[in-house]
């Protein structure tokens, strides 16, 4: 790890996990510059290069930046890289940002002002723009300004992701990041924080831009399948009964979604098995009409 060359004590650390690949060099530099532009104050930037696919010139560029603390770890894992970065946080507050996304101007200052005015808050989450090709829209649509997120609201619309939150270091410790869940780590983190009674506020103000690409993890089969084990972990955490029922409804919806994906791929038998599982969960009968799509001879790929 390089020596921390920051001469004073900033309030906020931003953790950036990255593979430091040459093909992402332009996006990485955009990410870092957006962090600098997100506050009028000096920020501490921790870049965690994970895995062995990094490019020497990209790593060298990190080393040349006076405001970056560079950490290199062998495990190629974004949530593990965030964990490693969290271990090195020494500021009162911290946040994270993926290396191909960006903060909007003043993003950190908006979140910092909100958390500083309320000592009871443990984190501030915000809206963001989701950029997919030529289409850009707000990612979260159901929240209004200064809504207090809780366990139930997490299942109406997720409100936490990599680049949209600022955390209070004192109350959101390393332990919340140690038990991460692959591919759905932010939903799992939000669930753990709410179950532990941490206080959050959601500001319906976009403070970052998330870029969606064809090879994004969120588009992969592994990402979709991860939600089954995630929901099982949630149930094993003994949430309140009303929340447990919401989780089982999500399990039903997940089975249905995977059934549709299997049918679209031409795997009718797998689609049928997944469909039966969706029906057995609470509220699963809402998918009963979909059964006709699984009859041999019925056109594939329709819900």
Supply the DSSP string of 205-253, one letter for each residue. Answer: EEEEEEEE-TT-GGGSHHHHHHHHHHHHHHHHT---HHHHHHHHHHHHH
Low-confidence residues of the chain: pLDDT under 70: 1-8, 142-146, 214-224, 299-303
Instruction: Report in angstroms the alpha-carbon separations of 292 from 84, 265, 266, 268, 300.
Output: 49, 17, 15, 12, 11
> Residue 175: enclosing H or E segment and its boundaries?
helix 175-178
Q: Report d(CA 227, CA 230) in Å as an integer.
A: 5
Quickly list H helices, the chain.
25-36, 56-64, 78-87, 107-116, 153-156, 175-178, 185-195, 221-236, 241-264, 268-279
pLDDT, tens digit, 9 for 90 and up, residues 98-114: 999 999 999 999 999 99
Instruction: Report in angstroms the alpha-carbon separations of 279 from 253, 272, 288.
Output: 9, 11, 7
Tokens of 132: 């997919």
Angle at 68 between CA 61 and CA 27, to 5 degrees: 55
According to the model, what pLDDT value does residue 51 have? 95
* Pairing label, strands 68-73, 44-50: parallel
* Residue with tokens 């797998």, as numbered in its chain: 270
According to the model, what pLDDT value does residue 9 have? 87
According to the model, what pLDDT value does residue 133 have? 80
Give the count of alpha carbons within 13 A of 32, CB side only: 24
Per CATH, is 12-214 categorized as 3.90.550.10? yes
pLDDT, tens digit, 9 for 90 and up, residues 204-219: 999 999 998 765 555 5
Tokens of 184: 């759905």
Are the C-beta atoms of residues 31 and 99 closer than 8 Å to each other?
yes
Phi then psi dihedrals of residue 39, to 5 deg: -150, 150
Residues 6+ apart with CB under 8 A from 287: 252, 256, 275, 278, 279
280: how many CB neighbours lie within 10 A of its CB? 12
Tokens of 116: 């500083």
N residues, the chain? 303
> Residue 61: enclosing H or E segment and its boundaries?
helix 56-64
pTM: 0.87
């Amino acid at each position: 790890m390089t020596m921390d060359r920051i001469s004073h004590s900033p309030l906020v650390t931003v953790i950036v996990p990255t593979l430091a690949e040459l093909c992402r060099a332009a996006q990485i530099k955009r990410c870092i510059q957006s962090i600098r532009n997100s506050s009028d104050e000096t920020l501490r930037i921790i870049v965690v290069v994970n895995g062995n696919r990094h490019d020497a010139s990209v790593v060298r560029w990190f080393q040349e930046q006076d405001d970056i603390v560079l950490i290199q770890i062998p495990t190629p894992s974004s949530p593990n890289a965030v964990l490693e970065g969290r271990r090195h946080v020494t500021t009162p507050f911290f946040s994270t940002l993926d290396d191909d996304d960006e903060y909007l101007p003043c993003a950190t200052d908006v979140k910092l002002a909100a958390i500083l005015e309320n000592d009871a808050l443990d984190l501030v989450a915000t809206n963001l723009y989701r950029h997919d090709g030529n289409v850009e829209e707000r990612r979260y649509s159901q929240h209004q300004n200064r809504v207090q997120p809780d366990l139930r609201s997490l299942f109406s619309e997720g409100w936490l992701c990599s680049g949209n939150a600022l955390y209070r270091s004192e109350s959101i410790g390393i332990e919340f990041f140690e038990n991460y869940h692959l591919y759905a780590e932010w939903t799992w983190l939000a669930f753990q924080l709410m179950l532990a009674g941490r206080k959050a506020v959601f500001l319906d103000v976009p403070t970052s831009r998330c870029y969606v690409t064809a090879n994004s993890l969120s588009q992969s089969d592994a990402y979709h399948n991860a939600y089954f084990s995630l929901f099982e972990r949630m149930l094993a955490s003994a949430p309140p009964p009303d929340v447990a029922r919401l989780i089982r409804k999500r399990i039903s919806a997940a089975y249905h979604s995977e059934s549709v994906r299997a049918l679209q791929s031409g795997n009718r038998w797998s689609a049928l098995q997944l469909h039966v599982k969706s029906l057995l969960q609470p509220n699963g009968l809402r998918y009963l009409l979909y059964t006709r799509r699984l009859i041999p001879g019925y056109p594939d790929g329709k819900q």
